[in-house]
Structure 1
């Protein structure tokens, strides 16, 4: 059955769950092929009104959906799986969007042989520019991976990685948008310090970020070459880069991503 012909249940429609739901609808999925679960009645009413999808309880979702996209908080996943496991057929595809949780976490709680695909996407899915990494659990086949790709490719780009790399993916691209927003925020503040109106500084930096990202994506050049093209001898850019290096920006980024990776591992350890 083609991806778009399947029924998907988004279990846990928080930020990531709603992001996936809205992306599938923009990609052309029919609302009658999408189910949603949420714990709060007011949230259920909000989602139903906004997207025209049916909000159901967890066991109804398991009974009616072909694919279960689990998007609850990692600390809530164990309780959820204990609730639904007795009703999950062993051949039903489960897609985990729970940051830090390995497929083995699901394997211990679901019927033996249940195919699980681990997915890490990010918030640019809201504008169809996500970066989504997909990993197969022990019982997931190429067909299961292709189905997951069919769901997430319309939201941006997808890449298959070994599950052993997913904690690094979480640190790099899952959390990555926040690092860029922080950098842009700091650069806007710098523009204000240099005498620019806030909106002018915002527009200058945001468009520079967009253009730079497109060049990185489309030129095929290494970022060092692109940086060197902007960096003239004894010019303004090299003076700024010297200060960034003096303040340890590169080392801070390395340490920050290691900390994010380690936190992903802690979440997994605490959830076992």
Structure 2
């Protein structure tokens, strides 16, 4: 696993973002904050208000048309919704074949083979799955590179996504559905836990605002301990679980209720659903 500081983006040539929504904005902000010249970033975004905001806030070049944005760019980052990706790629296929750029996609459920086919074939493609904490530059992204991606392409893709947080390379694309289930959907699991903890705290009589503060900062602190201590989750849990104490009473209740099995079933269900969506997209992509 790597962080943004581990893989600086040096002289990458122009980078073209196709789509200027929230995730693209996050990555652009991280790249600029990391020292990449705004002039090296081009963004194609059909919504005028979004274009104006990107130009104003980051000083990047903005375009309404994708073909203008990708002209001369060595790296394209596709940041449009999965349901419009095929049409976007078809419109840019001639430019892709002429320029042979590195293609990086953050679209869920769209395979590297689909992207390569829609762009005319023979291209280096990196499929990625960031998650929503990337909007705070505290995310994690799984990346898969097709066989045409060389070491330089991997470095460029990693540096791009490291602008949003940690990165993890996945060597088998079929496992990207598990990445989606664990980290892509994972923030919602934590939000659900927070929701349940707050409701339980209020049921015990705590005022709503006090319950919220206690729960949110407990989760924040625990997350920092997990990422900064270097200790395994099981060891951190052991240290805070005194024999016969309050924590042990709660942990035993979780375990008796099948907590681990429930988490496993939930992540498996999300993985299977991701696989189904990818297969459905492949069927449409072959039409």
Tell me, yes or no, whether TM beats 0.5.
Answer: yes
Cα-Cα RMSD: 2.0
What does residue 15 of structure 1 align with?
A: 22
Pick one of 103, 122, 126 that aligns with 1:113.
122
More displaced 10-residue stretch of structure 1: 32-41 or 76-85: 32-41
SS at match of 1:196: coil
Residue 214 of structure 2 is aligned to residue 207 of structure 1: no
Alignment of 1:24-63 (within 5 A): 24-56=31-63, 57-63=65-71
In the alignment, the residues of structure 2 paired with residue 124 and residue 28 of structure 1 have an alpha-carbon distance, to the nearest angstrom, of 21
What does residue 183 of structure 1 align with?
A: 193
In the alignment, the residues of structure 1 paired with residue 37 and residue 221 of structure 2 have an alpha-carbon distance, to the nearest angstrom, of 34
In the alignment, the residues of structure 2 paired with residue 183 and residue 267 of structure 1 have an alpha-carbon distance, to the nearest angstrom, of 26
> Cα 1:45–1:170, aligned 2, differ >3 Å: closer, same or farther?
same
> Cα 1:28–1:178, aligned 2, differ >3 Å: closer, same or farther?
farther
What does residue 3 of structure 2 align with?
A: none
TM-score by length of 1: 0.90
- Verify the 8 A CA contact 1:23 1:126 in the aligned structure 2: no
More displaced 10-residue stretch of structure 1: 61-70 or 48-57: 48-57
In the alignment, the residues of structure 1 paired with residue 262 and residue 277 of structure 2 have an alpha-carbon distance, to the nearest angstrom, of 23
Which structure exhibits the higher relative contact order, with contacts defined as CA atoms closer than 8 Å and separated by 6 or more residues?
2
In the alignment, the residues of structure 1 paired with residue 73 and residue 208 of structure 2 have an alpha-carbon distance, to the nearest angstrom, of 48
TM-score by length of 2: 0.86
> Cα 1:3–1:133, aligned 2, differ >3 Å: closer, same or farther?
farther
Pick one of 196, 215, 231 that aligns with 1:221.
231
Alignment of 1:186-197 (within 5 A): 186-197=196-207
Cα deviation per residue 1:192-220 (whole Å; 9 max; x = unaligned)? 22222333222222222222222222333
SS at match of 2:71: helix
Alignment of 1:85-234 (within 5 A): 85-88=93-96, 89=98, 91-162=100-171, 163-234=173-244
Cα deviation per residue 1:97-142 (whole Å; 9 max; x = unaligned)? 1112111111212233211111221222233222122211121111
Cα deviation per residue 1:1-28 (whole Å; 9 max; x = unaligned)? x645422111122232222222222222
Uncovered stretches (5+) of structure 2, i.e. residues with no partner = 1-8, 283-287
Uncovered stretches (5+) of structure 1, i.e. residues with no partner = none
- Verify the 8 A CA contact 2:74 2:99 in the aligned structure 1: no
- Verify the 8 A CA contact 1:90 1:112 in the aligned structure 2: no
Task: Name the count of aligned residue pairs.
Answer: 271
In the alignment, the residues of structure 1 paired with residue 137 and residue 29 of structure 2 have an alpha-carbon distance, to the nearest angstrom, of 10
- Verify the 8 A CA contact 1:78 1:271 in the aligned structure 2: no
Residue 79 of structure 2 is aligned to residue 71 of structure 1: yes
What does residue 238 of structure 1 align with?
A: 248
More displaced 10-residue stretch of structure 1: 247-256 or 27-36: 247-256
In the alignment, the residues of structure 2 paired with residue 18 and residue 51 of structure 1 have an alpha-carbon distance, to the nearest angstrom, of 9
Residue 91 of structure 2 is aligned to residue 83 of structure 1: yes
